[in-house]
Structure 1
């Protein structure tokens, strides 16, 4: 088979506990698809070591020496999940006809890969992995996620609800995605922008196989805010509206105060004064912080620093046969 070469990109950060099972599960999927002649026999698993502090990279190297279809790249330090995905796609797109991205924790059902490949053969360039329920989530996470998707929709950001970074992209779709040069990455918001024919594959999400989550609440909130400020200027408009409302309220209070003074009803207003100070102070701090977030993103973008630096990689060496 000359075409249909698949690379499965797996970002890894301190995944030594789950990696053996991940290699086993994804390796089985890869061999099954090769046996069914749906993908090229040179198809690969590409593990991206995102600055892990455990034995993740040593395990990747061991597996790559034992199995020809296992490859890997190592960052010089931790650059973050989104950059790890981008690095894997940037390398894989040189040789692959389709690329699937999936996390190493096995929460996303690997069996959905069969359906994704089938959708690719049906002519779809983008295939989203969408979870069919949120039963494994806590009450807080489930409802905040729903609120977040609704908020992003109202802000004009075209997200696929209940879809994260588990997806298939064709070669041309991947090349289009890589042409977006921003460094404030929010891939689940960027992929719908490329506009190619897309489909959805539904699957049940599982509990993490082993290890601990790499997305605690603080990191999830930062990621959510990054998504909002990377794709919408609605918060800036909200600040403008808030400023107008505050100004109108202040004018009304000023007129009310003057009327009370003329009528001789001057009463000590310590409480109302303190409330006003705190309210206006809070609004000002929120406004400055929001504007500062956008200024910070501009500051990051204009420096044009590299998104990541690779210390080691063996993918291109193993793929030389296809280049010939």
Structure 2
């Protein structure tokens, strides 16, 4: 079969050559075992890197015909880079596997992905066995994120990042999703094709540092929650009803005290009420604004990404 491995790259000059070398060795192993054919590719997606990553990717392409490169015109984000690789692979392969450029995800799990694909799975999710390589804060926030997504009714797979296999059928179906706010971990489970899970161990990063900063992780989490559920707006409404009920009770108690001539200073109550209600209002406005902002960007119909050039010996495209 023809397999494409999608590798999103952003400022990965320290590790990209070593990672590609390991992936090529895995390809050669699969080819010797008769699993993949000569048309298989490693697709490097350069997400507008500011270091030498783009140049290194081009040099790797020139040295090995099994490598293809997609160069973005700017930085569109990790999710857009993975999506671009999927779009490119959809009509060119039997299945595609996405994996991070640092290869912290165990590449030997690729064999298990392929086994599940041959059994009939159009989607195979890579789920990490543990988060022991994560720091305390990242581990805590990741756990909270998946729990919140579950509460809000999302079908996100816990502890699954973007290490997965998609069949050609699933890749083509994914092209029908046109939203600008991309959250693949939430989109792909909605495709509905037969799926399975493969567990793998996460390794320590051998070079460079993670490009997923706290800000990017928070943005991804916000996209995930607000792109697939309107439950936060429902909860705001219910919270408003609760605050209204409490307010009515406070008003009744205050009137009764006033009728009986009880002196009520009310200073502490008023201050606490102002701070509480002010905080709730700001939170409510922020959440509602998040949804309005998403509608604003979606209504513009801007492209999910822009490609400067594609380097692939099977098809030479300079602009898309």
- Provide the rounded CA distance (Å) in 2 between the counterparts of 1:84 and 1:281: 40
Equivalent pair of 1:74/1:310 in contact (CA under 8 Å): yes
Q: Distance in 2 between matches of 1:273 and 1:123?
A: 63
- The residue that corresponds to 2:91 in the other structure is 94
Cα separation, 2, equivalents of 1:263 and 1:198: 69
Alpha-carbon separation, structure 2, partners of 1:34 and 1:123: 21
TM-score (norm 1): 0.95
What is the DSSP-based 3-state SS (H/G/I as helix, E as strand, rest coil) of the residue aligned with 1:242?
A: helix
- 1:195 Cα deviation after fit: 1.0
1:162 to 146, 159, 164: 159
- Distance (Å, rounded) in 2 between the aligned partners of 1:239 and 1:184: 23
Displacement of 1:314 in angstroms is 1.4
User: Aligned partners of 1:149, 1:189: CA distance in 2, in Å?
Assistant: 11
Q: Does the 8 Å contact 2:58/2:311 carry over to 1?
A: no
Preserved CA contact (<8 Å) 1:12 1:49: yes
Query: Which deviates more, 136-145 or 39-48?
Result: 136-145
Deviation at 1:236, TM superposition (A): 0.3
| Counterparts of 2:137 and 2:14, CA distance in 1 | 27
Distance (Å, rounded) in 2 between the aligned partners of 1:308 and 1:151: 29
Residue 289 (1) aligns with residue 254 (2): no
Where does residue 314 of structure 2 map in the other structure? 318
Q: Distance in 1 between matches of 2:117 and 2:279?
A: 51
1:28-75 deviation digits (Å, cap 9, x = unpaired): 111111111111211000000001000001001111111000110111
1:205 paired with 2:202, answer yes
User: 1:309 offset after TM fit, Å?
Assistant: 0.8
Aligned residue for 1:257?
254
Q: Look up the match of 2:183.
A: 186
Partner of residue 130, structure 2: 133
Partner SS, residue 303 of structure 2 = coil
Listed as ranges, the gaps of 5+ residues in structure 2 are none
Residue in 2 that maps onto 1:173: 170
Deviation at 1:141, TM superposition (A): 2.2
Structure 1 CA distance for aligned equivalents of residues 252 and 189 of structure 2: 51
Among 217, 223, 240, the alignment partner of 2:237 is 240
User: Is contact 2:72–2:308 with CA below 8 Å preserved after alignment?
Assistant: yes
Q: Which residue of 1 aligns with 2:70?
A: 73
Give the secondary structure class of the aligned counterpart of 2:124: strand
Assess if the C-alpha contact under 8 Å between 1:11 and 1:102 holds in 2. yes
What is the rounded CA distance, in whole Å, between the counterparts of 1:199 and 1:256 in structure 2?
Answer: 58
- Which structure 1 residue ranges, 5 or more long, are not aligned? none
Query: What is the match of residue 218 of structure 2?
Result: 221
1: CA distance between counterparts of 2:140 and 2:270? Answer: 37
Report the Cα distance in structure 2 between the residues aligned to 1:288 and 1:71, rounded to whole angstroms. 46
Distance 1:224 1:209 in 2: 26
Contact 1:48 1:72 in 2 (8 A): yes
Q: How far did 1:139 drift?
A: 2.5
The question of whether the paired residues in 2 share the 8 Å contact of 1:95 and 1:319 is answered with no
Q: Does 1:57 align with 2:54?
A: yes
SS at match of 1:15: coil
Question: What is the TM-score when the length of structure 2 is the normalising length?
Answer: 0.96
How far residue 143 of structure 1 moved from its aligned partner, in angstroms, is: 2.9
Q: Does 1:41 align with 2:38?
A: yes
Contact 2:7 2:45 survives alignment (8 Å): yes
Instruction: Output the CA distance in 1 between the equivalents of 2:212 and 2:163.
Output: 16
Aligned-residue RMSD, C-alpha: 1.2
Query: Aligned to 2:234, what secondary structure does the other structure show?
Result: helix
